Chain A
Amino acid sequence: MTYSTSSERLGMRLGYRFNLVGMSALGIILLWTGIALFAPRIIPHSVGEIVDTDYFGPMSRDLWFGSDYLGRDIFSRILMGARYTLGISLAAVTIACFSGVALGMTAAVAGGWFDSMLSRFLDALNSIPSKLFGLVVVAAVGSSIPALIGTLSVIYTPGAYRFARALAVNVNTMDFIVVARIRGERLPYLIASEILPNILGPVLADLGLRFVFIVLLLSGLSFLGLGVQPPYADWGALVRENIAGLPFGAPAVIFPSLAIASLTISVNLLIDNLPRRIRDRGAE
């Protein structure tokens, strides 16, 4: 579905088509990124400060999204939580997908024992339950943001690897790869220049999905006390700590959920609706 807007016409002049769905998704992501960057300047209340005498307070002029189970301002806590959710998840998903995809393509092109060894090793890694793995890491090195990012990326690398390898194996059998090999090309050229452009679409879609998984796993870890440490909280932690408000329909549990939904859905919508190059030369 495409809508004719002024910016779309601009896009068409540049030879790209970007539809409204993609643009709104990008808008929401940029909004959250802005909030994450400038949260300390724009929050109305401090995140640790108890500002309401009641817990699970309703929405009011002062507390826009109500108060949480301790009477803290949820609006401020969501704005600050954006930093953790967005920052940690983005960093982890970038690392996981970059290493997973690079290894996957290498394994597909190199084949042989390298492929077998790497695949078995990452399968073994994949078989460890993710929360247990997180628990062990936190017990060993303590909970810090770099440790969280590292743990999350290690957990999600095998999946990205499997996915990229499966795609790359198909591309690897194409004649143009044979042509490149017999030209004498080396591995870095083969994976970066011949294979990657052909699997980029699905890899980006996978990245979007994996981002959602990481946001959810991060929330789970935070709930167990292994994630972001109080009084700060990421969105998942906000949902978990206010879950008792659900029977009262407290905004404290609804708004963090909406924040997670808006971010994860936007990321996926953007990836499905990336700007497309217009290939119809006749129209120019």
Chain B
Amino acid sequence: MTVNLVEIRNLRVEATTDAGRRVEIIKGVDLDIARGEIVALIGESGSGKTTIAMTLMGYARQGCAITGGEVRVAGMDMVSLSEAERARIRGTCVAYVPQSAAAAFNPALTIMDQVTEVARIHRFMSAAEAQAKALLLFKALSLPEPETIGNRYPHQVSGGQLQRLGAAMALIGQPKVVIFDEPTTALDVTTQVEVLRAFKSVTAQHNIAGVYVSHDLAVVAQIADRIVVLKDGTVQETGTTDQILEDAQHPYTRQLLAAFRPKTQQRAPDHDGATKRPLLEVDNLTVGYGPRSRDGQPLINAVQAVSLKLDRGRNLGIIGESGCGKSTLARAIAGILPAHAGNIVFNGRELGKAGRNRTRNELREIQIVFQHADSALNPAKSVGDILRRPLTFYHGMRGKARDARVNELLDLVRLPKSVRHRLPGELSGGQKQRVNFARALAAEPTLILCDEITSALDTVVAAAVVELLKELQRELGISYIFISHDLSVVEAICDEIIVMYRGQKVEQITTTRLSAPQHPYTRLLFSSVPKLDPDWLDNLKQDADELRAYSQR
């Protein structure tokens, strides 16, 4: 019997590319986890953090193989075991909580069936026992209506609840170690707080060891005992949470920490007020989905009578949790989803509500950049083709002039010229988002609507993208409407912030007055943003009444 629950020694994982080239993605990693200890693996995407976590189950993704070293979990070497032996250990000794519980649940089965499935497969307890155990877990994870939630189907519970149910599924086999693979990345900050609390208390209660994979240092600070910083498949730095937060040695760790420091931003000097005309004025805009009733009201109003004003060269932030209507508002301004009431005045001219009622030039001046660069870039077209199209379409450019402009655009977003020939699938998340942005720039717009453009990116990469946006603004004088649920990102770039809740604008504040929000929802939202302080979560006191009033959980 070994001292530590998990001992990884000199782990090597190789991937085979489609040209048959072998690439080492994990290059000799050592890692120990004691009983009941939670170790966080942090690093940018591609650093191998999930790959390492998965080897605890003896699993390597398709095309990858563990080529060396050993992974001892409770004394058993997961690398040398047969697949059948590994299957016995999975779920009972090692369990896994995926990043997206929504994708991990089968929509056709009830939650209880899926949570107790592990017990059914491994036959370590009867169905009734398993259900009783599940009920205890639902309570421990502070799920609402624990007695009946198991009878529902996955689509009938919220994202935060589903994530906790995913944890219940992992914990039912009483594992010794649980792998948490970015379990809160996809959640709103207000939800994240509750999920983190639930994870923390359950793991402490059952003395469960955990591997917590994340790129969010502030989240990790709340839950982990130790932090391992990874880059390019090697361990850069290991230390207790306090050590890493206070005395980081490695440059990458410092970069991560730096992304959390409050950002100072110089405001663009005010242009002379006399000629100032707002770039965009939105007046009482109401947008909805579904069939219209007789009085012209759509079935569901996603945005209700929102007004806003944006001056040229300034930036406006819109924040709120998912479902608050912030993206719908952006879509209505862009003309993708026609608003059914209200006015959009751009540059002094009223715009048609639907995109097809706007002139090509009006369309050119407002560009929208979507959150998921994966789906916003045609996977079948090369980066060059993607950027050439708006140049031809809006500016009639061809041949050499167009190629030169493509190179300029790539240069603007700090990408090498060689990516022109690549397909989007061959780029990293940050690179894709830059291409996505370069396409918007190709139109030479005056306003860019950024819909959660940094949400899918790592902290460090997101900070770099935000820096880039600021630089481009200085060079090109563009205005941004920046939609996000991440306050720190909005704070870094915007002059004014609109807080939205359930389709309504609840507050509009300037970034200088951020510390004194008036509306209770704004207060709740702002207080939910994790801080680097490891005691933040324990000390966080949120008004229970407010929490109830504003949580749709």
Contacts and interface: CB of A to CB of B under 8 A. Distances in A.
Given A175-B376, A176-B378, A182-B355, A281 B422 contact: yes
Interface string B147-179: 000000000000000000000000000000000
Given A17-B18, A175-B370, A183 B375 contact: no
Interface string B369-395: 010100111111100000001100110
Contacts of A280: 17-19, 21
Interface residues on A, range: 20 to 34
A174 B355 contact: no
A198 interface: yes
B393 A178 contact: no
A198 B380 CA distance: 6
Interface string B435-456: 0000100010000000000000
A183 B20 CA distance: 40
A193 B386 CA distance: 11
Interface string A173-203: 0111011011111000000011001101000
A282 interface: yes
Given A181-B336, A182-B336, A279 B375 contact: no
Interface string B1-37: 0000000000000000111110100000000000000
Contact of B376 (A17, A179, A279, A283): A179
A12 interface: yes
Contacts of B422: 281
A193 B385 CA distance: 10
A278 B372 contact: no
B39 interface: no
B3 to A, nearest CB: 41
B136 interface: no
A2 B19 CA distance: 11
A178 B360 CA distance: 15
B372 A179 contact: no
B481 to A, nearest CB: 15
Residue from A12, A179, A279, A280 whose CB has the most chain B CB atoms within 10 Å: A179
Given A176-B377, A198-B378, A198-B379, A183 B393 contact: yes
A12 B17 CA distance: 14
Nearest to B374: A175
Interface in B93-108: none
A283 B17 contact: yes
Contacts of B439: 179
Contacts of A281: 422, 426
B506 interface: no
A179 B21 contact: no
B64 interface: no
A184 B357 CA distance: 10
A2 B18 CA distance: 11
Nearest to B334: A182
B380 A278 contact: no
B368 A12 contact: no
Contacts of B423: 279
B368 A179 contact: yes
B333 to A, nearest CB: 11
Interface in B329-352: 334-336
Interface in A160-184: 174-176, 178-179, 181-184
Residue from B19, B370, B390 whose CB has the most chain A CB atoms within 10 Å: B19
Interface of A: 2, 12, 17, 174-176, 178-179, 181-185, 193-194, 197-198, 200, 276, 278-283
Given A175-B372, A179-B370, 18 more contacts: A17-B18, A17-B19, A174-B375, A175-B375, A176-B375, A176-B377, A179-B439, A181-B336, A181-B355, A182-B336, A183-B363, A183-B390, A183-B394, A183-B443, A194-B378, A197-B381, A280-B21, A283-B17
